Amino acid sequence: MRSQLITHADWLVIITAIALLPWLYATFWGSDGGAGDEVHIMVDGKELPAISLKQDQTLTIQGTIGPSILKIADGGVRFISSPCQGQQCVHSGWHYHSGEFTACLPNRIALQVTGGTARYDTFNY
């Protein structure tokens, strides 16, 4: 046994461990930042067919308390307006990345950007 509280090898372990952490955050929090290619919208627990982010459009989704307007442009999606009080969904802004999620809870509308893998729900010609 040694009298030192923390040995040199211990410091090496601690420093390596601490250096590893930012890498973990970058890998697990940043990697799914790949551009999404479609948006899944849930209305009152029911999922609508996936909508491509490649085609710019404005959608009006009927929620439980009124219509929410979504805008799809430049491969992203956002709430333009919603009949809710807090407007968090509108303030959450644009969502471009696969895995991003936002919701208007009062109006029971949730959306999630997905993509990366080839999953076709519809074909449009």
Partner 1 sequence: MTTLTTTTEDHRIALLAALAITIHIAESALPSPLPGIKPGLANIVTIAALCIYGLRTAAWVLMLRVLAGSLLLGTFLSPTFALSFTGALASLLILGLARLVPGQSFGPVGYSVLAAMAHMAGQFTAAYWLFIPHPALLHLFPILMTAAVVFGVVSGIIVAAMLKHIQ
Contacts with partner 1, residue ranges (CB under 8 A): 1-10, 12-14, 17-18, 20-21, 24-25, 27-29, 32, 99
Q: How far is the CB of 72 from partner 1 (least distance, A)?
A: 23
Q: 70: exposed, middle or buried (C-beta count within 10 Å: 0-12, 13-18, 19+)?
A: buried
Cβ closest to partner 1, residue 20 vs residue 80? 20
Q: How far is the CB of 118 from partner 1 (least distance, A)?
A: 17
Cβ closest to partner 1, residue 29 vs residue 123? 29
SS3 content of the chain, % helix, strand, coil (to 5): 25, 35, 40
Query: Would you state the structure tokens that stand for residue 37, as one six-digit string?
Result: 């290619």
How many H helices and E strands in the chain?
2, 8
Q: How far is the CB of 52 from partner 1 (least distance, A)?
A: 21
